[in-house]
Amino acid sequence: RAGLDTRIIGRELVFFDETDSTNLRARELGDNGHPEGTVVIADRQTAGKGRLGRYWASPPAVNLYTSILLRPPILPYDGPQLTFLSAVAVARAVEEIGGLRPLVKWPNDVLLGGRKVAGLLNEMNAETEGVRYIVLGIGVNLNMRPEQFPDDLRYPATSLAIETGREVSRLAFARALYRHLDSLYGEYLTSGFPPVIRAWEEMCDLIGRDVEVDCQSRLIRGRVEGLDTDGGLLVRAEGTLEKILAGDVRPLER
Ligand code: BTN
């Protein structure tokens, strides 16, 4: 277990100098019956995948690209809960290793100083009766320099080194991340989603604030109340509680 002080995460560790995408490798391992907690790490990815079919810049030697195989006894409907769990784990590791206070942004970004420092891509293999496996794909910009970011990014991005002004140990970060994931996942298996909701809400600065949501060509203005049990964002708009399942949330000027 490579010195990991964990119960589930890191039960098997598979390392690649180079691979197309750690999510693809983890899904293969999932298809081939590897146990939950199997972790894939790559030094670089040649086809790192982002959400919405985008790509994830994955230069060698600087960042963390990892995918974790889980087999939670849940219904497919609850799969998105694991995204919030991994966002909290990443944010805790950023806080521990970087000494900075990160924020989570709905649905699944982790921000430092308002800029994206990590990306999460969860993929689920399920049938109606249950989940076969879920792969948590996590990319964290650790030591990436400004010139290494792609020019066509649609959002402001940063790295831990840019924010702290010092180099971050990838090993120390990975260890911290797997430890936080392990304890959150252990708690999730016994207590379900509520503890994750509370932890996530504590790291979200939009709770209680007025926002504007672009949601399926509808513009909703209201106050964020929190996270629902299915991961939807609860926004109170003119007395009605709206649940946002997809969309872009922006704070209104204070
Ligand atoms: C996003 O679009 O914000 C999600 C990015 C997820 C990137 C990580 S890096 C490790 C894992 N392997 C991939 O191909 N993608 C995820």
* pLDDT number for residue 189: 97
Q: Is 185 in the pocket of ligand 1 (CB under 6 A)?
A: no
One-letter amino acid at 201 equals E
Tell me what pLDDT residue 153 has: 83
For the Cβ of 107 lying below 6 angstroms from any atom of ligand 1, the answer is no
The C-alpha angle with vertex 172 and arms to 164 and 157, in degrees rounded to 5, equals 40
Q: How confident is the model at residue 207, as a pLDDT?
A: 94
Q: What is the pLDDT of residue 2?
A: 60
Would you state the pLDDT for residue 139? 98
Mean pLDDT of the chain: 94
**Fold match between 13-202 and 210-251?**
no
In CATH terms, the fold of domain 210-251 is SH3 type barrels. (2.30.30)
Residue bearing the CA closest to ligand 1, atom 11:
137
Q: What is the rounded (10 degree) CA torsion for 149, 151, 153, 155?
A: 80
Asked if residue 98 has pLDDT above 70, the reply is: yes
At 111-151, the pLDDT tens digits run 999 999 999 999 999 998 899 999 999 999 999 999 999 88
- Nearest-CA residue for ligand 1 atom 9 is 139
Query: Mind listing the pLDDT tens digit for each residue in 31-80?
Result: 999 999 999 999 999 999 998 889 999 999 999 999 999 999 999 999 99
Percent share of the chain, pLDDT over 70: 99
pLDDT at 3: 75
Tokens standing for residue 35: 């146990």
pLDDT at residue 254 greater than cutoff 70? no
Ordered DSSP codes for the chain: -TT---SSTTSSEEEEEEES-HHHHHHHHHHTTPPTT-EEEEEEESS-B-GGG-B----TTTSEEEEEEE--S--GGGTTHHHHHHHHHHHHHHHHHH-S--EEETTTEEEETTEEEEEEEEEEEEETTEEEEEEEEEEE-SS--GGGS-TT-SS-B--HHHHHSS---HHHHHHHHHHHHHHHHHHHHHH-SHHHHHHHHHT-TTTTSEEEEEETTEEEEEEEEEE-TTSPEEEEETTEEEEESS-EEEEPP-
Domain boundaries, the chain: 13-202, 210-251
- Orientation of helix 194-202 relative to helix 170-191, angle to 10°: 140
Pocket of ligand 1 contains residue 121 by CB under 6 Å: yes
Given a cut of 60, whether residue 1 has pLDDT beyond it is: no
Question: CATH code for 13-202?
Answer: 3.30.930.10
Atom of ligand 1 nearest to the CA of 52: 2
Q: Is 231 in the pocket of ligand 1 (CB under 6 A)?
A: no
d(CA 33, CA 210): 46
Q: Which residues are annotated as a binding site for biotin?
A: 21-23, 45, 116
Measured CA distances, 32 to 25, 122, 199, 237 (Å): 11, 18, 33, 47
Contact 215, 234 (CB under 8 A): no
Region 164-178: mean pLDDT is: 97
The pLDDT assigned to 108 comes to 86
- Compute, in angstroms, the gap from residue 238 CA to the centroid of ligand 1: 37
For the segment 178-232, what is each residue's pLDDT rounded down to a tens digit?
Answer: 999 999 999 999 999 999 999 999 999 899 999 999 887 889 999 999 999 989 9
Instruction: Say if ligand 1 is within 6 A of residue 139 CB.
Output: yes
Predicted confidence at residue 78, as pLDDT, reads 93
CB atoms < 10 A from the CB of 167, how many? 11
Mutate to test the pocket of ligand 1, among 45, 49, 134 (most ligand atoms within 8 A of CB): 49
